[in-house]
């Protein structure tokens, strides 16, 4: 029996694939990956989630087995696809919880700003806080992503290794697999859109329970940024995860899973 099953959701502008695990009658928990990640980036975290939940890791368009359009990689496009996914889950009596990392966290916040009534809550894992009128620079330059993807696609693994000297062989292969599962168009257009799209105002507009996990060593969310987000929305609970960088859920999977499950049991509206 395969470890994960697949759910396909066909939409007007993109077909979306999700890797699923757990009870189909359980609370849906939808995992949204970052700019250079895909559904299976969450595999280690999914393995730690209770089987009583219906966990779904989404291949955001341009990634994994989902459609790979030449254009259409802005938050509004991703929100359309996510709305279609929730439509496919509409007969579940419990509204989903969104769990997003990085760009996926920004997608969750944008979705909640317009559709809080459709979800039970959301977990935002180290979202970049740049945007109009806020921090202008993303923590990693676009050129880095393009360089690393080109090295993988062209089979220049020595160059790829030299760019990530601290990675183990297993970590390096996992990162290469992620780049193979993300289109260059999706990386470039997502990155350029991300620099111009708001974030803070979406957090302010959300009307659902929210957990924010910030990486102590990521420099994605600084102390002042964290305080700003707390002040914007009293429904937001914020935690700093110690001794980890941006990839919190990979560096501390057990702790991340514990935070997610605790949040769901304490604050999300499980019926």
What CATH number is associated with residue 20?
Answer: 3.40.50.1820
41 assigned to some structural domain:
yes
Provide the whole-model pTM: 0.96
169 assigned to some structural domain:
no
Number of folded domains that form the chain: 1
Cβ proximity of 229 and 253 under 8 Å: no
pLDDT band (50, 70, 90) for residue 271: very low
CA dist., res. 41 & res. 250, Å (int): 9
CA dist., res. 37 & res. 160, Å (int): 17
Using the predicted structure, report yes or no on whether residue 1 has a pLDDT greater than 60. no
171 assigned to some structural domain:
no
Cβ proximity of 62 and 73 under 8 Å: yes
Full residue range of the structural domain in which residue 18 is found = 5-135+196-266
153 assigned to some structural domain:
no
Using the predicted structure, report yes or no on whether residue 133 has a pLDDT greater than 70. yes
Q: What 3 state SS string does 80-93 have?
A: HHHHHHHHHCCCCC
Cβ proximity of 97 and 120 under 8 Å: yes
> Which pLDDT score is estimated for 139?
82
CA dist., res. 123 & res. 178, Å (int): 22
131 assigned to some structural domain:
yes
CA dist., res. 245 & res. 175, Å (int): 15
pLDDT digits (tens, 9 = 90+) for 115-124: 999 999 999 9
pLDDT digits (tens, 9 = 90+) for 46-102: 999 999 999 999 999 999 999 999 999 999 999 999 999 999 999 999 999 999 999
Q: Which residue has the tokens 């980036």?
A: 41
pLDDT digits (tens, 9 = 90+) for 196-208: 999 999 999 999 9
178 assigned to some structural domain:
no
């Amino acid at each position: 029996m395969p470890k994960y099953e697949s759910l396909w959701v066909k939409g007007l502008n993109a077909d979306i694939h999700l890797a699923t695990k757990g009870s189909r009658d359980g609370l849906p928990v939808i995992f949204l990956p970052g700019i250079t990640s895909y559904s299976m980036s969450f595999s280690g975290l999914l393995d730690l989630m209770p089987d009583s939940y219906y966990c779904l890791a989404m291949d955001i368009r341009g990634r994994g087995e989902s459609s790979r359009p030449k254009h259409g990689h802005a938050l509004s496009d991703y929100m359309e696809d996510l709305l279609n996914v929730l439509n496919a889950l509409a007969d579940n009596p419990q509204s989903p919880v969104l769990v997003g990392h990085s760009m996926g966290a920004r997608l969750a916040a944008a979705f909640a700003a317009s559709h809080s009534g459709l979800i039970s809550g959301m977990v935002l894992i180290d979202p970049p806080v740049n945007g109009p009128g806020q921090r202008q620079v993303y923590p990693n330059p676009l050129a880095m992503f393009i360089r690393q993807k080109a090295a993988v696609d062209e089979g220049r693994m020595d160059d790829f290794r030299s760019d990530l000297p601290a990675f183990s062989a297993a970590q390096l292969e996992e990162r290469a697999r992620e780049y193979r599962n993300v289109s260059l168009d999706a990386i470039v257009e997502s990155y350029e859109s991300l620099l111009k799209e708001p974030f803070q105002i979406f957090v302010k507009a959300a009307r659902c329970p929210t957990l924010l996990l910030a990486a102590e060593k990521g420099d994605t969310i600084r102390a002042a940024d964290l305080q700003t987000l707390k002040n914007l929305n009293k429904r937001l609970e914020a935690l700093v995860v110690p001794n980890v960088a941006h990839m919190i859920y990979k560096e501390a999977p057990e702790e991340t899973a514990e935070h997610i499950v605790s949040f769901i049991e304490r604050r999300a509206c499980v019926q």
